[in-house]
Amino acid sequence: MLRKKDDEKILDINATMQGSLVFSDPVNLRINGKFEGTLNTKGNLMVGESAIVNADITGEDMILGGKVSGKIIASRMVTLTGTAQFNGDIEAPKIVMEEGAIFNGKCKMPQGKLSLSELSDYLSIEEEKIMEWVGKGKIPVEKEGESLFFDRRNVEDWITQHR
């Protein structure tokens, strides 16, 4: 069900789904049923207590409350509630685990600076396009010797300003 509340897009899935979902615009997505596949989302993702998700998930902010297996890459934060059962790998700058959460896997908390290739992966944009932005002074960049580095927070602020 897709509903709009004060310019906020909410997608509430209470069904069994399989496949690949990609959201290019920010959306508040809630999964309360079963999902299997890949999920690429912007905005907030909430996996309900009764949900069963077997997926590789890329997104911004995630709150997991059900059974989730796969690889998670979040640009902001992942929260495992007290009812979460997670098996897999998490990569996020902030990870919160409430008492009662079950986590089996590896976690990686990326550093503040990203290389060109890491930024390309993070933004899902080709390196050539990022270099074009660098050349035009459109994206914040730091130079150390011959290497370029991008401060994650500066890039996130830049993204927010250019939405």
Tell me, what CATH number does 119's domain have?
Answer: 1.10.10
For the stretch 130-146, pLDDT in tens is 999 999 988 988 887 78
40-49 burial: b if 16+ Cβ within 10 Å, else e: ebbbbbbbbe
Q: Collapse the DSSP code of 154 into the 3-class scheme (helix H, G, I; strand E, B; otherwise coil) and give the result.
A: helix
Percent residues over pLDDT 90 in the chain: 44
Let me know whether 19 and 85 are in one domain. yes
* Domain containing residue 130: 113-161
- pTM (two decimals): 0.67
Let me know whether 56 and 92 are in one domain. yes
pLDDT number for residue 124: 82
Let me know whether 120 and 104 are in one domain. no
Tokens of 5: 């509340």
Q: How many domains does the chain have?
A: 2
Let me know whether 148 and 77 are in one domain. no
Q: Collapse the DSSP code of 24 into the 3-class scheme (helix H, G, I; strand E, B; otherwise coil) and give the result.
A: strand
Q: Which DSSP letter does residue 93 get?
A: S
Let me know whether 97 and 33 are in one domain. yes
For the stretch 65-116, pLDDT in tens is 999 999 999 988 999 999 999 999 999 888 999 999 999 999 988 767 888 8
Let me know whether 36 and 101 are in one domain. yes
Let me know whether 49 and 100 are in one domain. yes
Domain boundary among 87, 108, 129: 108
Let me know whether 53 and 68 are in one domain. yes
